[in-house]
Amino acid sequence: MEYAVDVGGTKIAYAIVDKARILAEDSVATDGLPPEERLPAVGKTLRALAKDRGVRPFCAGLSLPGPIAHGALLHAPNLHGAWVGRSISEFFSMLDLGVPGAAQRDALLGGLGEYAAGAGQGLQSFAYLTLGTGVGGALIVEGHLLLGADGAAGEIGHLTAEPRGPVCGCGRRGCVEAIASGTAIAKIYTAETGEEVHGAEIARRARSGERAAKKVFARAGIALGIACAAWAQVANPQAVICGGSLAQSLDLLLPTLERTLHRRAWEANLPLPILPAQLGGPAPLVGAAHYARQSAR
């Protein structure tokens, strides 16, 4: 049994997890506050939850909305500045849960959550793609997250898909994220039509056959196909699992995604099924608990 905490820009969700199943959970608004004004109360509530239920979690997992390197949160644009540069051990002291803890980036833990209790159950190696306001990725290899030297492995959102494409938030040109994130889809649609509409509305228009809307999704699908082909060649995963809010529009992305993937990937790396994620919002919590358990061993 584990404690799990998922810090996001809007809310901090927390839970007690038992065998990849959420036993008790709750959340508080992040409210743009520094960690010392949020984590101690979260830790206190978690300890009370465990006491009420008569359970004793043996470790704690923490999901953070930014990369972690050398034991500290490197950057997190959606959080109060006081979170950035702080060491992971400081966050765990603020939580004061009295058990060993391990922290990782949310996109990676979302993938691990799918491995433990979602669409990745029964798979040993797969890629996880999270499509939302940004594009994130993770690689699960033999049941473990591939972290790389600095924990930045699998960052497929910043793979170049169109060398002359739109400028990305990272400052480079033509990244997958600059073409296929929810934000990018809305931005490109506005540039093409002059209309400012929400992503869900663009998806509705694409389904009803509107040319401009279909074109934006087709282009995003190509960028994602390039990303999936890269994964196929480098890591030979058994599947790509797609999560995040934009995964609800996977049907609009799949035709060009699969065509691009099959044109670009070597036959030995195919077929590479593209599957929808199953866990949704709680994926990072379940992943954080699993990661903590793996790290505590």
Chain contacts with Zn ion (rule: CB under 5 A): 158, 168, 170, 172, 175
Phi and psi at residue 211, to the nearest 5°:
-60, -50
Least distance to Zn ion, CB of residue 269, Å:
25
Q: What angle do CA 72, 77, 79 make, to 5 degrees?
A: 75
Residue 153 or residue 212: which is nearer to Zn ion going by CB?
153
What are the distances in angstroms from CA 237 to CA 37, 124, 145, 160?
A: 41, 9, 13, 20
Least distance to Zn ion, CB of residue 214, Å:
25
Instruction: Return the SS3 of 25.
Output: strand
Least distance to Zn ion, CB of residue 172, Å:
5
Least distance to Zn ion, CB of residue 239, Å:
25
What are the distances in angstroms from CA 29 to CA 8, 86, 129?
A: 9, 20, 26
Rounded Cα distance, 263 and 260, in Å: 5
Strands (E), the chain: 2-7, 11-18, 21-29, 59-64, 68-69, 72-73, 101-105, 126-131, 135-141, 144-145, 240-243, 274-276
Least distance to Zn ion, CB of residue 65, Å:
17
Residue 116 or residue 222: which is nearer to Zn ion going by CB?
222
Rounded Cα distance, 241 and 59, in Å: 27
Least distance to Zn ion, CB of residue 244, Å:
16
Least distance to Zn ion, CB of residue 180, Å:
11
Rounded Cα distance, 164 and 155, in Å: 20
Which among 57, 122, 68 has a CA at the least distance from the CA of 90? 68
Rounded Cα distance, 287 and 13, in Å: 13
Rounded Cα distance, 99 and 59, in Å: 5
